[in-house]
A and B are shown apart, each in its own frame.
Chain A
């Protein structure tokens, strides 16, 4: 009887059955490629990606950069240490150092389209505010990435280990995580800022990163707990794979969606944390500059010289929002259940396919 069944042909191309219809769009692609395609389709995320990349290039090329002995000149004619004279022409009565940036054309009574000498104005002592904002944005972006990388790595490793080994290792690591979570971020930040703030922004970001991994490690642990029960893990074990190989080669790539998404959200949180700490005076300290510090320094001038407030704020919002949008787009791209909503127009314009056998 068994031999006779060969007639019950299972042609290799046709037995896809129900999956064939739904997998149509995924044929011939790896999972990474599918995710990339879905991400590219997400308009908000793609726009944000362009904005953030553009912003980073813009901000970092504006001022002189020193990398070791090399000095890369920036395209902006002022640095943060230059002290040009405070200008008052074109400003309202009694004000100095107002922004020269103008979009109103001359025939409407404006100064014409142009950046002018100090597009963002000047601060109390005459420093160019554009240069200061650029420096501040550089610091904030740097803090964001350092916290993202350190927090992401720590969170992934700790979560992976406790989720994979379970038992007492899990208990110890998770209680440690709980302990870190119970300490308010403000306290950590102020202590870290107080001790390391003067060592430069890199140190500050590094130490903040050491405390930023908790949420991620819990997520990764949960993901590992479910993935380790899947049969492909047993299959790998039977094949003779070591624990390390199982964690890094088999389970981690399957958890990468969760990790990427929450790291981006961690990063947008990091930029706000840095801002908040600097505002409170625990983060970056003068003479270094950061966006939060700028806002805090000029908070009294909000009513009289609001531009000292607007521009750092604008940059904070743009960066945090873009990163959030990217995270959102990534989450959608990694979620297999997410399908595009079908509109009425889609329904009408769709073609009908008759299957070959019909």
Chain B
């Protein structure tokens, strides 16, 4: 049972940049036995993925490794290419974050599994096909007979990740390296994939090296945990030790930054139920359709959607990917045309507004986009990006504009000197603050935040949410906060709306939604959110499995 699968000792990785070696992993030690799960936790840049790729010498040519990595008592570091090839896939299999890019889009998933099998074993095509079918059945892809001949794009995200797992398991590897296996997935799908991985591990007695930034996932899976920061292992212990008695301040900080569902204090609505002010945003029976293009038929993304947002409140809009929440956000600000219904912003109907009408509305609205890397023009200094709405609204020019930009930078707690910097010089968290500064440039009545934290690390996210809350309390704007993360919505919002498949399934104030959800889907969503507490996770998992049976 406790055969040692992986032993890493004094493992170092450096990257060559411009004549200097920069360390990415420093003196790492790790032992992993069969049937166990060790998690490496850390924020982006901590060197966790580098470790995973370094195990099998998969790093780019500007990397240098030293120390020792042993898989089943055989040294992998500086091993020759044929040894490595024998071990890759056969003994050590990888599951990557993004199954769409890790699977080859021009081959069926069956073909790709068969290929792996026949590379490593002396196997005939029919035999390999039978085994592939067996594997696909094993990972619970529906209709295995049909699915084996499907291309990756014909499968849903969760199914694709299952296909990846099937491929990884093809040769019964002793060690499974899972690099952020569920980060790209919705919470409910994530829970299923984690259950699947857990079940397979017990069945096949493989060891899993789990790499993730999500403390909830770690709590669900890990026996042992390694916390990394800037390449250094800051803490190493059993899951119990790390979660219940963290020693290192960084571990404590990391755990503290994880938003926990239902732990934030009650937030009173900024208005009284009886005397509601006029809504800032009012959507009535809104239907949004993506028109048909060529042979692709028209797709109704949002149907009969009703929502009102009053001044000074934050409304959280949650749902899984594809539920239409981003579509609602974009339509609400006039970026998408609507098919039916009406949208009113500050009392003005924009459902059929022309470009000209919209420009007057835009003084009252701001939007923070999801991806900070893409939402700032890489060729403009950030001062110009922030100042653009003011300049275009004709409010200020020249020195006056520069002043206003500096004030905005102060507000989002960025140094004024950043005015002349370019987006690529800033980190993700800083870029997102620039995004807020731009959205708030015209002191809007309505701010739409479209998953602003989904690309950020937990500690950066915590800081960002604090900032947003402070600004909201100070400036009293109304906010539609779109997110897939219930815990984040819980921290911020006064009211919550839940969407599924383009329909509004439930809406109400925060506590009633989170504590007494009426809708089945809401309940499922809440129970699938991983909690950074191993004991709690076990209880939830068992409840989930019981519910399934």
Contacts and interface: CB of A to CB of B under 8 A. Distances in A.
Residue with the greatest number of chain A CB neighbours at <10 A, chosen from B17, B392, B459:
B17
B232 A350 contact: no
Contacts of B478: none
B61 interface: yes
A137 B367 CA distance: 56
B57 to A, nearest CB: 16
B180 interface: no
A54 B64 CA distance: 44
Interface string B447-472: 00000000001111011011001000
A182 interface: no
Contacts of A346: 16, 19
A37 B269 CA distance: 55
Nearest to B24: A21
A178 B547 CA distance: 61
Interface in A304-358: 339, 342, 346-347, 349-355, 357-358
A31 interface: yes
Interface string B41-69: 00111100000000000000110100000
Interface in B229-286: 229-232, 253-254, 256-257, 259-260, 263-265
A26 B460 contact: no
B43 A17 contact: yes
Nearest to A25: B18
B6 interface: no
Contacts of B491: 1-2
A21 B61 contact: no
A232 B23 contact: no
Given A10-B429, A239-B388, A354 B23 contact: yes
Interface in B201-254: 229-232, 253-254
B414 A19 contact: no
Given A19-B45, A238-B335, A24 B17 contact: yes
Interface string A237-265: 11111000100001001100000000000
Interface string A175-194: 00000000000000000000
B374 A232 contact: yes
Contact of B415 (A12, A15, A24): A12
A124 interface: no
Given A5-B257, A350-B21, A19 B427 contact: yes
Given A2-B469, A30-B422, A238-B365, A357 B232 contact: yes
Given A5-B463, A15-B427, A355-B231, A22 B17 contact: yes
Interface of A: 1-10, 12, 15-31, 230-232, 234-241, 245, 250, 253-254, 339, 342, 346-347, 349-355, 357-358
Given A17-B427, A21-B17, A238-B333, 4 more contacts: A3-B466, A9-B459, A15-B457, A232-B374
17 contacts: A1-B263, A5-B463, A8-B254, A10-B429, A15-B429, A17-B44, A17-B46, A21-B22, A25-B17, A28-B425, A230-B375, A235-B385, A240-B359, A240-B362, A240-B363, A349-B19, A351-B19
